[in-house]
Amino acid sequence: MPDQAAGLRSLFARRRPSLLVVAGGDPCKAAVAAHFAHEAAAAKRATLLVDGGVGELAAVCGASCRYELAQVLSGDRALSDVIKILTPELLLMPAARALLRYDVLSRDEQARLALAFSSGITETFALAGAPDAQVDLVVVNAHQGQATRALDAFGRDARVVIVASDGSKPLRAAYTEMRRLVAVGLENFEVVVPLTPASTDAGKAYANLAKTAKRFLDIELADGGTIAVTPPPPRTAITFSSTRVPAVSPFPIQSPTHEVPHAAIH
């Protein structure tokens, strides 16, 4: 199996890519994950967009996916059957079932996984026409409640974004995700509060999360910046970290009509 710190990214040829995990139970989560991936790809970064959900990313990206990574692990499909080329710098890989089984893979499955990640993804980027075929960023759309599993699979040195709009269900899902992440030692991550046409006050979601996080998790929340995604358009990003360590810098998000600097998403 790959080393614990880098997870699956240690299997990539020559370069260990950066990792961003997008988590929570908000309906906008897949759109936010797609936004980050598209922004990085627009900046000419070879980006792998991994869907740990049940097809939300394919729907957001307008793609049709018949297979997923689990079928590569079983030997039933080639990686080229699973990956969808969205742009020369952006690939979509459905992987929900594979991520759920990551910690119990057989030796044969591990070998197939290593082969797929060490050469197959790079070959697909080259086939798509990417100027640099080496994967530079992995964005994972984690299934609700599965952010820690995504970290186990791809590496604990990830940046984690939790998506939560105002409303009892998404806020409850966000808090549950925060509690699980804090329990495994993660102390820095961002929260994106999306605004939809029906939204009235993004600050209310932030205030509710800040109060709950401070009271039960001893975590401070702080305003972090803006983001625009369509549809629906998340616009307000906030950052929080444990009171025991300095707050991390928020993503310097820009409008989708502008390029994001190479260092914008680490």
In a domain, 133, yes or no: yes
**pTM score, whole prediction:** 0.81
What is the identity of the amino acid at 89?
E
* CB-neighbour burial class of residue 205 (10 A; exposed 0-12, middle 13-18, buried 19+): buried
Residue 156: pLDDT band (50, 70, 90) is confident
Q: Which residue has the higher pLDDT, 176 or 226?
A: 176
pLDDT digits (tens, 9 = 90+) for 71-102: 999 999 999 999 999 999 999 999 999 999 88
Query: Is the confidence at residue 242, as pLDDT, over 70?
Result: no
Within 8 A by CB and 6+ apart from 85, the residues are 91, 124, 127, 128
**What whole-number distance in Å separates Cα of residue 161 and Cα of residue 34?**
13
Structural domain range at position 128: 7-242
Asked if residue 1 is part of any domain, the answer here is no
Residue 110 CB burial class (10 angstroms; 0-12, 13-18, ≥19): middle
Q: Which of 20, 122, 42, 119 is nearest to 86 (CA)?
A: 42
Distance CA 46, CA 71 (A): 24
How many domains does the structure of the chain reveal? Answer: 1
Assess if residue 251 is contained within a domain: no
CB atoms within 10 A of CB 208: 17
Residue 264 covered by a domain: no
- CATH code assigned at 234: 3.40.50.300
pLDDT 10s digits, 24-41: 988 888 988 998 899 899
Condensed to tens digits (0 to 9), the pLDDT of residues 117-127 reads 878 888 899 99
Structural domain contains residue 192: yes
249 lies in a domain?
Answer: no
| Spatial separation of the C-alpha atoms in residues 239 and 241, rounded to whole Å | 7
Q: Cis check for the bond before 231: say yes or no (omega within 30 of 0).
A: yes
CA distances from 81 to 66, 96, 121 (A): 8, 16, 12
Cβ within 8 Å of residue 263, ≥6 positions away: none
Residue 262 lies in a domain: no
pLDDT at 257 over 60: no
Q: Is residue 252 situated within a structural domain?
A: no
User: For residue 13, what pLDDT band results from cuts at 50, 70 and 90?
Assistant: low
Strands (E) in the chain, as ranges, are: 18-23, 47-51, 84-87, 90-94, 137-141, 159-163, 188-194, 219-226, 234-242
Whole-angstrom distance, CA of residue 45 vs CA of residue 129: 12
Distance CA 192, CA 223 (A): 10
pLDDT band at 17 (very low <50, low <70, confident <90, very high): confident
